[in-house]
Structure 1
Amino acid sequence: MSTFKNPVGPQPPSVYWRRRAVLALGLIAVVVIIVLIVVRPGSGSAEPGAAATTSAPAGDAATPSPAPSETAPAADATADPADDPTDDAAAGASDAPTCSARDIDLKPVTDKTNYAATELPQISMTITNSGRSDCSIDLGSAQQTLVVSSGEEQYWSSKDCQVNGTNQVVTLTAGQTLSTPAIAWDRTRSSAETCESASRTPVTAGGATYRLSVSVGDITSADTAQMILN
């Protein structure tokens, strides 16, 4: 069985040139492929980043402050008229009718019921228009009275040493309540003769019970507030 083999020996120059051309084309193709892999179209463009957004924390939202409570002038026995501008001109005129006693509810107020030996009771009052219509009333310090008593005996009154009492006519809307600033009772007996005394007689303590009543003009509170002094 015969077989055919390529002839051995030198070949024509054209064969070598063709081989060189094929090798050169192959190298060029490899270089082009590498360049295409490394430098892809659009690979240099940066993606747009998401815009940064800042949201305010919920705690930063403005919170409305509670409205201040309405107050009437204090019945402080040593009130300075400069702190309580309640002269007739400042009070102004009111178109509302004068409040009747049946429409005004006065309530004595203490900061607590039981007091230790070193504690001074803070006493005040509230004034409520329990009627159905607006009315005007003089709530100046000259009209307010706070009285501390025990049984039938009166021990202390804000009137005993009050100076420069003032008048102030205010309009109370139906259902409106005003509160007077609290004043401290020094746990002593009061009288007009002892206002300048540095050593007033202290009241009995050791669990003794006292009661606070209040009035505005001719209107007196129906109830009293209890204070127990230890």
Structure 2
Amino acid sequence: MSTFKHPVGPQPSRVYWRRRLVLLIALVAVVVVIVLIVVRPGSSRGETPKPATTTSAKPTAAATSIPTSSATASGQECDPSSITVGAVTDASTYAAGQLPQLSVSITNTGTTACTIDAGTAQQVFTITSGSEVYWKSTDCQTEKVDAKVLLKPGKTISSQTPITWDRTRSDPATCQAKRAQVPAGGASYHLTTSVDGIPSKETKQFILN
């Protein structure tokens, strides 16, 4: 007589059948779990599941600014005749004690992309009043770097970090000395810039109070 069909023990046979049924259900559940892990329903065969897409933030204007560290760009060098350099200040009139922020803009007016060295080593800011030069950025400049950048046609890039003018007269001999403030009280000044030897075509006028 088979003990599988006719369980032998002190308890009724239905108790043993119930135990066998529970064990069988548990075994089937384990098999199902293993199959699901191997098959991975919902995934395409041979493909890696793609991550959920997220919305990217739009790049800011700083993404196209002139870099402050060395960079590399390949392409034909810009023809100076197709480059427009502009002198930029953050205001036209400054209150007493307010320091002007100086920047430069570079525009490729040509029809093809080209490269230009727009690093701080190639930027010159000059402030004049009448025929007199009051301040020049290269007089006491430190940590100069070259940075070749690619200019796309019709696009303009600008300084990432403006230069702050302390309203003093510059002189290479007084870089470590305390310098006197330039005349203010409504005095008019003009900013000119140059990048990679290309000067700004116009000056930017501003007033110091």
Structure 1 segments (4+ residues) deviating >6 Å: none
Report whether the alignment pairs 1:186 with 2:150.
no
* Cα pair 2:108 2:154 within 8 Å, conserved: yes
Paired residue for 2:205?
Answer: 226
Q: Which residue identity is paired with 1:68? A: T
Partners of 1:127 and 1:93 lie apart in 2 by: 16
Q: Secondary structure at the match of 2:173?
A: helix
1:102-152 CA distances to partner (integer Å, 9 max, x unpaired)? 111111111111111110011101111110000010011100011110111
SS in 2 for 1:72: coil
Letter in 2 for 1:135: C
Q: Please, which of 85, 97, 102 is the counterpart of residue 69 of structure 2?
A: 85
Query: 1:72 maps to what in 2?
Result: 66
Report how far residue 219 of structure 1 moved: 0.5
Counterpart position of 1:167: 146
Greater Rg by CA: 1
| 1:130-145 → structure 2 map (5 Å cutoff) | 130-145=109-124
- Kindly state the Cα deviation for residue 163 of structure 1 after the two structures are TM-superposed: 1.2
- The C-alpha deviation readout for 1:8-29, integer Å capped at 9, x for no partner, is xxxxxxxxxxxxxxxxxxxxxx
Determine the structure 1 residue equivalent to 2:89: 110
CA–CA separation in structure 2 for the residues paired with 1:147 and 1:207: 19
Quick one: which amino acid aligns to residue 174 of structure 2? T
Report the count of equivalent residues: 153
Contact 2:69 2:119 in 1 (8 A): no
Q: Kindly tell me: are residues 92 and 65 of structure 1, through their superposed partners in 2, closer, same or farther at Cα, counting changes over 3 Å?
A: closer
The match for 2:183 among 204, 218, 228 is: 204
Please state how far the C-alpha of 1:67 moved relative to its aligned partner. 2.0
The CA RMSD measured in Å over matched residues stands at: 1.6
Q: Structure 1 residues 190, 93: CA separation in 2 closer, same or farther (over 3 Å shift)?
A: same
Task: Structure 1: give runs of 5+ residues left out of the alignment.
Answer: 1-61, 74-83
Which residue identity lines up with residue 171 of structure 2 in the other structure? S
TM-score (norm 2): 0.69
Match of 1:156 among 130, 135, 146: 135
- Taking a change above 3 Å as real, the CA distance of residues 204 and 63 of structure 1, as seen in their structure-2 partners, is farther
Structure 1 residue 68 displacement after superposition: 1.1
User: How far has the Cα of 1:63 moved from its partner?
Assistant: 8.1
